[in-house]
Amino acid sequence: MKLVNIWLLLLMFLLCGKKHLGDRLEKRSLEKAPCPGCSHLTLKVEFSSTVVEYADPIVPCNDTRWSQKWQSSRPLRRASLSLGSGFWHATGRHSSRRLLRAIPRQVAQTLQADVLWQMGYTGANVRVAVFDTGLSEKHPHFKNVKERTNWTNERTLDDGLGHGTFVAGVIASMRECQGFAPDAELHIFRVFTNNQVSYTSWFLDAFNYAILKKIDVLNLSIGGPDFMDHPFVDKVWELTANNVIMVSAIGNDGPLYGTLNNPADQMDVIGVGGIDFEDNIARFSSRGMTTWELPGGYGRVKPDIVTYGAGVRGSGVKGGCRALSGTSVASPVVAGAVTLLVSTVQKRELVNPASMKQALIASARRLPGVNMFEQGHGKLDLLRAYQVLNSYKPQASLSPSYIDLTECPYMWPYCSQPIYYGGMPTIVNVTILNGMGVTGRIVDKPDWQPYLPQNGDNIEVAFSYSSVLWPWSGYLAISISVTKKAASWEGIAQGQVMITVASPAEVESKNGAEQTSTVKLPIKVKIIPAPPRSKRVLWDQYHNLRYPPGYFPRDNLRMKNDPLDWNGDHIHTNFRDMYQHLRSMGYYVEVLGSPFTCFDANQYGTLLLVDSEEEYFPEEVAKLRRDVDNGLSLIVFSDWYNTSVMRKVKFYDENTRQWWMPDTGGANVPALNELLSVWNMGFSDGLYEGDFTLASHDMYYASGCSIAKFPEDGIVITQTFKDQGLEVLKQETAVVENVPILGLYQIPAEGGGRIVLYGDSNCLDDSHRQKDCFWLLDALLQYTSYGVTPPSLSHSGNRQRPPSGAGSVAPERMEGNHLHRYSKVLEARLGGPEPRALPACPHLSWAKPQPLNETAPSNLWKHQKLLSIDLDKVVLPNFRSNRPQVRPLSPGESGAWDIPGGIMPGRYNQEVGQTIPVFAFLGAMVVLAFFVVQINKAKSRPKRRKPRVKRPQLMQQVHPPKTPSV
């Protein structure tokens, strides 16, 4: 009996001692070093005469206080996508009362990089380049900085801003705010000065050196709208052709569409957008589509992938951590993940820019309720990408991998409008990724295979594609239209496109063997009978010009910090809200990407000309006059045009070292006046601004022009405005009454159409719209489509007699302008620019169908899977139970694990986790000992009945009841 008791006491002692030991180990591992010094961060961005300050009261773990001024004569150039925006800020701001959630300590842990760390992968032997603002020599977060180079005109390698340090930390910091690949070889390229100045020539030199150093992964947290900077774009192609995986931020110009930055918008580059930790698309993250292909084609899907870019923690300029936001932050998250993934691949020859992008987009997790121009293929999934990459076989793939015009909201805008006979073909621009080699080709032609049971023979398809896939990629443009036999049919039609891609074999045999890969592209569309003419609106895209390459100024001159018109002027980019509104009102909007001579006016009720900068062919002018006489209506939204103001808004470009002069005003008013002259209509070169009320609606006129002349029997509405032209030129203020801004006119000929003029398009444009005029567009379409004159306009108190144009001078084209360099209409001739020969209308060669008498798949989107990939073959170890628990960080608390030597977080939990079986064994032994003691006691008791004692009475005497006390 004594032996049993002694053994029990020994077990209890060991159990308690082990528990205290575990408590001490856990406590020591969880203790955080206090932040050595936390201060306020203030960013001051100065642009010309506009100064904007961004400040945060608390910046975790950063002892730097600085004020940054950005002086530049050229407002839009390649810039860091955090520093040059309002999204360079710290978390920890005061906000309204809300539910608290656990904020992850490290973005690398949130994406489960620690699982790969515990498998022994930490980015070793991978060379990663950071093109940014530099890095200090002895920063405590980095242990494997192989080289620092400076390509600027400043004599320093250090980071004076903190942007480059933060980016490098997200990729490869080894302690505190830990990066994804702490053992990667860091190559630091300083290409920005402390004033955020950079030149294309600096990048070209640095890119050449990166090729020489055989860099594996290159991060560019920079961008700009100039996708026609040919030396830069060509050098990016050369980099990726040399097997450099380039990751770049798509820009901080959201939520506006058509705001992708270069080089992230290139097919061979991994373009990264930003989300917050609630998996919402960050407001600042730029949206697609690409605008390279406009006006004749349609943009590609970008970004490629999204990941955390809001409130991400990274290295401070001198140590410690800070939390920042922007796609400049999301880009190194993906670059760090890519670096870590490269280190996990045993056969490095399989890793290239195409195969890495294929793995990322095939493994991405789609976000619900978000379209493809916001999220690309979805959210980065590091572990699934690891599985895909480690079972990868060289092949071709498509982005997007299917076309479903019925799937909303992901397939917006394709899903927003069904197709019908006689409509403009729907163009889908698909990117071909070729993981088999840097160069390739499409074998023969793509095949169109309609599913007969699913009415696939009711649609016809035409192709346009890259003759050579280089580097690693190409395009496949698919035009979809409805056959004549389905003119009155309604339903769903399906088919598929089959393409075969060939690339030279790695080790070419004597007979020139090639690798081939066949890819299937499912297509699903909704067809309806052709809508009535009155409901069909045609948007003129052909006559809209944008930067690049020319200097086309903003329509609102108040927007001094964003002076270039660079969003494409498309109904799916900066006129997206207008398009959505028209669709909600039952109108069908089609896009004209060719001259006026290429559409059948009998199919459309209204032609919409908004913010046109292009000239017009004489043949276009003549055809439009005939069309309007035969019933086509015309709505024109113009903008300012004044040669004196155009000269005033010129600027000096530091890259080209030239003065840039606008090639037009907000719109090309002289060209519009020539188009309208046959009806005795025209705009002036006046420039007006102001708030006003029209038909009980609050309106804002932003840098608009006035109507100079209009037919006497028309309706003209006037307003009182400020003369903005006088303010720009002489800094004087003057108020002008009875400014004609809106005119409505019915063609007197029988069956003639109607014409509407309005002097400002900013109320339709998403770029800098202050007050929309969608209600006015509805009223004008009622007038042009049905001949219903809005009573609020015809009986308005602001209705005045139409101006005759007597005594006014028509605006003239600015002498010496360079519009002919960028125009599709003009060409340079001796004596001045002249119209080119009218181009032929686009002719589509419809593919010969190869019908399939089989049932089409019901769901085109399953989680994307590359060919010959079996994720079950790559099994991940179950480390999740050993991962550190997440709790909210208090302000000023370091997010670091205080473990010497940069050991990955989670290691201490392995030791604690290993003691769990010991505790379980000891607990079982205690229970067993308890039962042994009880059995021995029962055996030693005498078997006689004891007298019962009335103990409750005794207890009451000993323990009287308690009474309440004061």
| Set 139, 141, 163, 543: catalytic member | 163
Answer whether 627's CB lies under 8 Å from 598's CB: no
How many Å from the N-terminal Cα to the C-terminal Cα in the chain?
52
Q: What is d(CA 691, CA 710) in angstroms, rounded to the nearest whole number?
A: 24
How crowded is residue 389: how many other Cβ atoms within 10 Å of its Cβ? 25
Answer whether 258's CB lies under 8 Å from 573's CB: yes
Q: What is d(CA 335, CA 132) in angstroms, rounded to the nearest whole number?
A: 14
| Set 56, 132, 555, 627: catalytic member | 132
Q: What is d(CA 589, CA 376) in angstroms, rounded to the nearest whole number?
A: 25
H, E, C per residue of 99-113: CCCCCCCCHHHHCCH
How far, CA to CA in Å, does 877 sit from each of 180, 387, 658? 19, 12, 60
Helix, strand, coil fractions of the chain, as percent rounded to 5: 25, 25, 50
Total residue length of the chain = 966
Answer whether 652's CB lies under 8 Å from 74's CB: yes
Answer whether 81's CB lies under 8 Å from 223's CB: yes
How crowded is residue 392: how many other Cβ atoms within 10 Å of its Cβ? 23
Residue 739: which H helix or E strand, with range? strand 735-746
467 is catalytic: no
SS3 389: helix
The values of phi and psi at residue 735, to 5°, are -105, 130
How crowded is residue 52: how many other Cβ atoms within 10 Å of its Cβ? 13
132 is catalytic: yes
Residue 17: which H helix or E strand, with range? helix 2-30
Q: Which of 196, 190, 191, 171 is nearest to 181 (CA)?
A: 171
Q: Is the dihedral of CA 929, 935, 941, 946 positive or negative?
A: positive
| Set 80, 173, 328, 503: catalytic member | 328
Q: What is d(CA 671, CA 544) in angstroms, rounded to the nearest whole number?
A: 12
Provide the residue type at 893 as one letter.
E
Residues in contact with 961: Cβ distance below 8 Å, sequence separation at least 6, in sequence order: none
Q: Which of 882, 903, 884, 909 is nearest to 102 (CA)?
A: 884
Q: Which of 651, 601, 593 is nearest to 631 (CA)?
A: 601
| Structure token digits, residue 128 | 């990663």
Pairing of strands 270-275, 305-308: parallel
Q: Which residues are catalytic?
A: 132, 163, 328
